[in-house]
Structure 1
Amino acid sequence: MSDWLNQVFCEDALSGLARIPDASVDLILTDPPYNLGKDYGNDSDQRSVADYLAWTEQWIDTALPKLTANGSLYIFLTWRFSPEIFVMLKKRLTMMNEIIWDRRVPSMGGSVRSFTSVHDTVGFFVKRKDYYFDLDAIRIPYDAETKKARSRSIFVGAKWLELGYNPKDLWSVSRLHREHPERADHPTQKPLEIIERIVKASCPPGGVVLDPFLGSGTTAVAAKRCGRNYVGFELNPDYCAVIEQRLVAVDNPARPYVRPKVEKRPRASKKAAPAAGGAVEQGENFELI
């Protein structure tokens, strides 16, 4: 067993990635800071635009050599920086999809000077044409009514009808509300439903998933639940403790992870200072997702 495999390192990924051999990771799946001024217990989300893009390019160039020849990368981004970062990645990889995650934000509140942001952007990139992708593992079953409507002889025995259809590039999955049982104490936690879909599709069973910015640890939890190996990095020691508890809970269903009760912090006012590089609307910057 490699000493780096199935480990969460509480350190900066830029230095920690040296632990991981080149060409040893099947999937890089990550949700890096969006540079919108979120509070992660440090200033990692508060850079100038130039510094943020330079830092992004630095960690990308450090992480990409870790991918196997048929590996893939998925990256969560905000629309504010996805164009620049997608161009950056297109110089190094082949882009397969721009996936839109519709967070199902309620139709109240939000910006009054622009259209309210209710989605995240996910880029799907590969190293070469024979990349690993298991569509059958993520098909969405048809309901009984649809199957009945396809009962004509030309549909009999059709594999796709039994297994379901291919998820499209618009994923409508609710964000994790404060009281959601899956929710950890982290401001931008992603739902397991989304992360597990990516892991099943783009990492072979027994393969390795790398997340340079683990946050609440959802990538590691999804990998473990799906029979994959994981490795990742997280700067904040409080989040590292959360990750450890969530991973232990995967092996102990009778003792699920229970988020500690914390006092609700008041939302920042609309007049709060935005991150460097431009104004930030309330719906995007202050709403817990």
Structure 2
Amino acid sequence: MQPEAVRLLCGDALQSVQQLPAGKFNLIISSPPYNIGKSYERSDKLTLEEYTAWQETVAEALVNTLAEDGSICWQVGNYVKDGELVPLDIIFYNIFKSLGLRLRNRIIWRYNFGYNADRRFSGRYETVLWFTKTDSYKFNLDPVRIPQIYPGKRHSAAKGERAGKPSGNPRGKNPSDYWEFSADKDFKENPVWDIPNVKAGHPERTDHPCQFPVELVERCVLALTDPGDNVLDPFVGAGASVIAAEKHGRVGFGIDKEPEFIKIASERLALLKEGALPLRPLGRPVRRPQANERVATTPAEWLAVSEV
């Protein structure tokens, strides 16, 4: 293994993970390839069975590197072939469960923009599976609390000595497993983990074709690790996981087989250390266009269609 000062490794995920020390990482978080034909998958496209077998070997190696009190957060979408959809979280649940891990949450990440389908509803969410290795795991709620919806709500008379006292926590509410990052207004109107995916106009966008937003990683890092802990991403891509780890005082390690992605991640990590990396602020509400903005105005060409 290379020294800890070297955060990014260019190489095959399985081979690289097999070289890592057992029990080293407090959090393993990644969004693995979905095997759907992205540019970095075209040279080695697999059948669903081959893909599953490969990911089983990677998962087994990862579990060996996980600390006893550690967590794995696996963010996945869907595999689609000939119009038929397979939710990858079903496959990965069975993989990690067979390795003895315990599922703590199946988190929904909702976003506004994505692939528009013609013969099925357009997909607008993916999932994060949070597993732990044992029942003794880290969970730091305070750093990720969100404001109470009803801060004035009090316990009823049936609650005995708690009757009449505020029923919520003054430090804030536990986020649900339907994630939303806005701190106030957007939460009350739309209680979801509503984080924009990295598309055109997003400040974090790079040349990576399927980029992971940093703020999605941040909540996992803050809740499931302590400062100084080790965080591993075996499919690091544009570097969101190591950036989130570095930003919050953790030690990030990333692996990717594509040299150009390692270069992007390395450059972004350097910019973060200089305080010059463009990032979407954690907790900023998702922007909704005003009714009078051009992008929110129905085109004249559509009006004739709607009248038919």
TM-score category (smaller protein): 0.7 to 0.9
Partners of 2:59 and 2:95 within 8 A in 1? no
Aligned AA (1:88) = I
Partner residue of 2:288?
Answer: none
Deviation at 1:17, TM superposition (A): 1.6
Match of 1:112 in 2: 118
Letter in 2 for 1:192: V
Partner of 1:57: 56
Provide the C-alpha distance between the structure 1 equivalents of 2:170 and 2:39, rounded to a whole number of angstroms: 45
Q: 1:59 is matched by which residue type in structure 2?
A: V
Aligned twin of 2:277: 256
In 2, distance between residues paired with 1:19 and 1:257? Answer: 33
How far residue 135 of structure 1 moved from its aligned partner, in angstroms, is: 0.9
Cα offsets for 1:85-122 (capped at 9, x unmatched): 2111111211111111111238xx82221121111111
Tell me the secondary structure at the aligned position of residue 29 of structure 1.
Answer: strand
Q: Secondary structure of 1:121's match? A: strand
Rounded to whole Å, the distance in 2 between the matches of 1:140 and 1:97 is 18
Determine the C-alpha separation between the residues in 2 that align with 1:70 and 1:142. 29
Shift of 1:42: 5.5
Q: Given that residues 6 and 230 in structure 1 are in contact (C-alpha distance below 8 angstroms), is that contact kept between their aligned partners in structure 2?
A: no
* Structure 1 position 201 matched with structure 2 position 255: no
What residue in structure 1 maps to residue 141 of structure 2? 135
Deviation, 1:226, is 0.7
Q: Which aligned pairs between 1:161-180 and structure 2 lie closer than 5 A?
A: 161-170=169-178, 171-180=193-202
Match of 1:90 in 2: 97
1:116-127 to structure 2, matched below 5 A, reads: 116-127=122-133
8 Å contact from structure 1 (residues 4, 20) kept in 2: no
Among all aligned residue pairs of Structure 1 and Structure 2, give the percentage whose two residues are the same amino acid: 31
Q: Give the gaps of 5 or more residues in structure 2.
A: 79-85, 156-163, 179-192, 280-308
Structure-2 separation of matches of 1:91 and 1:13: 20
The aligned counterpart of 1:268 is none
1:246 and 2:268 matched: yes
Paired residue type of 1:133: F
2:165 alignment partner in structure 1: 154
CA distance in 1 between counterparts of 2:57 and 2:240 reads: 24
Q: Which of 1 and 2 has higher RCO (CA within 8 Å, sep 6+)?
A: 1
User: What is the aligned residue count?
Assistant: 247
Q: Which residue is 1:222 aligned to?
A: 244
Provide, for residues 24-65 of structure 1, a one-character-per-residue CA deviation record: whole Å limited to 9, x for no partner. Answer: 110110110011111127535x21111100100011111110
Which residue in the other structure is 1:69 paired with?
A: 68
Match of 1:37 in 2: 37
Matched letter for residue 182 of structure 1: E
1:99 partner amino acid: I
Do residues 236 (structure 1) and 258 (structure 2) align? yes
**TM-score, normalisation: structure 2:** 0.75
Letter in 2 for 1:91: S
1:3 deviation in Å?
1.2
Contact 2:26 2:229 in 1 (8 A): yes
Q: 1:193 to 1:218 in 2, by over 3 A?
A: same
Quote the Cα distance in structure 1 between the aligned partners of 2:219 and 2:113. 21
Deviations 1:179-237 (A, max 9, x none): 21121221111221111001111112110001100000000000000110011201111
Tell me if the contact between 1:40 and 1:236 (Cα under 8 Å) persists in the aligned partners: yes
CA deviation vs aligned residue, 1:108-140 (integer Å, no higher than 9, x gap): x82221121111111110111111111111111
Counterpart code for 1:181: P
* AA at the equivalent of 1:75: W
Partners of 2:208 and 2:172 in 1: CA distance: 34
Which amino acid letter does the alignment assign opposite residue 48 of structure 1? T
Q: For 1:164, what is the secondary structure of its paired residue? A: coil
CA distance in 2, matches of 1:26, 1:224: 14
Paired residue for 1:287? none
| Alpha-carbon distance in structure 2 between the residues aligned to 1:90 and 1:182 | 34
1:25, 1:68 within 8 Å by CA — same for their partners in 2? yes
Q: Contact 1:31 / 1:76 at 8 angstroms: preserved in 2?
A: yes
Report if the CA contact (8 A) 2:75-2:128 is conserved.
yes
CA 1:180–1:162: 2 relative to 1, 3 Å: same
